[in-house]
Amino acid sequence: MKELLAPKNLQETYLDWTIIDPLLYARKLNQILRADEIRRLFHEVTRTYEAIRRWEILEWKGFDYYPKLIQPLEGEEYLLPCQMDSMDWRWDLGPGRPALYLDYCLSQSCHWRAKADLAVAQRLLPEYDWIVVSG
């Protein structure tokens, strides 16, 4: 497997890869994202990311400022990744209702969320062989 994921091999075989637009599978994707198991997985990812962010804030503030834990939204059992997002990239999404999966996006967290994203991808399109490649 290491040979398959070597940078040289990835560059030579990139034409064999498939890029998938999740909006083509929006209805099925929404069902997957509403599943309790997936929501719990994203909750764990969000809590982990939050712990790292809280530690960074403690370091930056000289350990004399203690940020509060983020709580799930009212009526929700789990945290959503969007609750941790400190970037302002959602301001220009265009007209209409935003896609549900945008609530599960969190800037600068790609490595933290790989396990959850892989679980969603495997449920969305199980006929593909999914792997996570860190670059």
Q: Report the alpha-carbon distance of residue 29 to residue 125 in Å, rounded.
A: 10
Q: What is the total count of domains within the chain?
A: 1
Q: Is residue 15 part of a domain?
A: no
Name the token pair of 60.
């930056």
pTM for this entry: 0.75
Q: Is residue 58 part of a domain?
A: yes
Give the angle subtended at the CA of 11 by the CAs of 9 and 15, to the nearest 5°.
105
Looking up tokens 């009212």, which residue turns up?
74
Q: Report the alpha-carbon distance of residue 131 to residue 9 in Å, rounded.
A: 15
Burial level of 114, CB count in 10 A (0-12/13-18/19+)? Answer: middle
**Once rounded to an integer, what is the mean pLDDT over residues 10-24?**
74
Domain that holds residue 111: 36-124
**pLDDT-derived band of residue 37, with 50, 70 and 90 as boundaries?**
very high
Q: Is residue 16 part of a domain?
A: no
Q: What is the pLDDT of residues 42-89, one digit of tens each?
A: 999 888 888 888 888 788 878 777 777 788 888 888 888 888 777 777
